[in-house]
Amino acid sequence: MNPAPARATWRDYLTLTKPKVISLLLLTTVGAMFIAASGFPGWVPLLGLLVGGYMSAGAAGVFNMVYDRDIDLRMKRTASRPTVTSVISTRDALLFAAALTFLSFVVIALASNVLAALLSWAGIAFYVIVYTMWLKRTTWQNIVIGGAAGAVPPLVGWAAVTGELSLLAWFLFALVFFWTPVHFWALALLIKDDYQAVGVPMAPAVIGERATVLQMVMYALLTVVLTLIPFALHEFGVAYFLAALVLNVLLLLRVAKLLVAVRRAERVDRPTALSLYKYSMSYLALLFVTMALDRALA
Ligand code: HEM
Ligand SMILES: CC(C)=CCC/C(C)=C/CC/C(C)=C/COP(=O)(O)OP(=O)(O)O
């Protein structure tokens, strides 16, 4: 007889929500709020979006873990998730995700407006239905198209403050969208074999390391060009421009190192890919902080 699974604790439920990923998603939400308000957006929308935003992104993460438990079981990085070990049953995880989905709408709508709440629901739906249930297992473009879900949080933050979506809001969306392939494929290069073993068509496992790195170079260049547009349009000042310049140079240096490695040896060395993966997160965080400060201090 199989031993009964251990009792779930609040920590197991927290794990289901992918808290570390959410920390950066919330930074882009809150960053967008400060940019939209050109300063402090007010305590009620700020706290409401932190709590409601955590709940909606958390719900998306729980649904994802329930749907993916068959593949998560067979990958080292994900094998100890509570949905895999059955510390939390599928039924309880789904109830938890449904409660988070419902509450997130109520909290965001009350703290800001219905548009922001609807956008957060659109983010959950896109991530769960379009990325997790459809694209993730069918095409190596999965995270390019699916990346749109991760780019929704700045739209939520912007809408929470202004009640609408302006051109700058869509710029923030595009920034996260074009950044995502560099962020994720750097990691995918490191765990290519795991994805290959479970049949998930992540780019390095399907088109190879060299072609993936070439795609990353293209997306990195697009990201860099994109960061310069709002400065050219006078949306941000010189402080932003200088910070973006430094962040972009550091990004391009890491991407170039990856390119040299793959051209020389047809494969990528771990420290170079790991350094880009880690830097990608600092890059996005610092860009959003700089944009918010530039606006607030202008
Ligand atoms: C479709 C788009 C994306 C995919 C497929 C993706 C995939 C991943 C994966 C597989 C990890 C490793 C997690 C782990 O070790 O358990 C990761 C880490 C991370 N991602 Fe993404 N990501 C995406 C978009 C984003 C976005 C939009 C953000 C935030 C703006 C983000 C923030 C993070 C952070 C902060 C980590 C580090 C987590 C840690 O250290 O445990 N990701 N991502
Ligand atoms: C507004 C709103 C709620 C937006 C949702 C945004 C969201 C939850 C983005 C998450 C991005 C992410 C961690 C993808 C990894 O999925 P994966 O299945 O490839 O990673 P895994 O193997 O670690 O599960």
Q: Supply the residue whose CA is at minimum distance from atom 12 of ligand 1.
A: 187
Ligand 1 geometric centre to CA of 277 (Å): 9
pLDDT at residue 1 tops 80: no
Q: Band the pLDDT of 6: cuts 50, 70, 90.
A: confident
Mean pLDDT within 56-81: 97
Write down the pTM of the prediction: 0.96
The amino acid occupying position 147 is G
Ligand 2 geometric centre to CA of 271 (Å): 24
> What confidence score (pLDDT) does residue 136 get?
98
> What confidence score (pLDDT) does residue 3 get?
59
The overall longest dimension of the chain from CA atoms, in Å, is 68
Pick from 60, 20, 72, 62: which is nearest to 195 by CA?
72
Q: Supply the residue whose CA is at minimum distance from atom 2 of ligand 2.
A: 123
Ligand 1 geometric centre to CA of 184 (Å): 7
Ligand with smallest separation from the Cα of 32:
1
Ligand 1 geometric centre to CA of 111 (Å): 27
Which burial class, exposed, middle or buried, applies to 41 when counting CB atoms under 10 A from its CB (0-12, 13-18, 19+)? Answer: buried
User: Could you tell me how far CA 297 lies from the centroid of its own chain?
Assistant: 27
Give dist(CA 22, CA 11) in Å, integer. 15
- Cβ neighbors of 167 (< 8 A, separation 6 or more) are none
114-146: pLDDT as tens digits:
999 999 999 999 999 999 999 999 999 999 999
In testing the pocket of ligand 2, which one of 16, 24, 25 has its CB within 8 Å of the most ligand atoms?
A: 25
Alpha-helix residue ranges (DSSP H) falling in the chain: 10-16, 19-37, 43-67, 69-72, 82-85, 90-111, 114-125, 142-150, 152-162, 167-190, 192-198, 203-206, 209-232, 238-265, 270-297
Check: complex ipTM more than 0.90: yes
Give dist(CA 231, CA 270) in Å, integer. 35
Report whether residue 123 contacts ligand 2, using a CB cutoff of 6 Å: yes
Give dist(CA 108, CA 114) in Å, integer. 8
Ligand 1 geometric centre to CA of 149 (Å): 12
- Long-range (24+ apart) CB contacts under 8 A made by 1-8 are 5/85, 5/86, 5/87, 6/87, 7/87, 8/82, 8/87, 8/88, 8/92
Ligand with smallest separation from the Cα of 68:
2
Q: Band the pLDDT of 267: cuts 50, 70, 90.
A: confident
223-247: pLDDT as tens digits:
999 999 999 999 999 999 999 999 9
Pick from 228, 135, 129, 174: which is nearest to 32 by CA?
174
139-152: pLDDT as tens digits:
999 999 999 999 99
pLDDT at residue 2 tops 60: no
Ligand 2 geometric centre to CA of 222 (Å): 22
28-55: pLDDT as tens digits:
999 999 999 999 999 999 999 999 999 9
Q: The tokens of 92 are what?
A: 């309880």
Contact 150, 127 (CB under 8 A): yes
Q: Supply the residue whose CA is at minimum distance from atom 9 of ligand 2.
A: 150
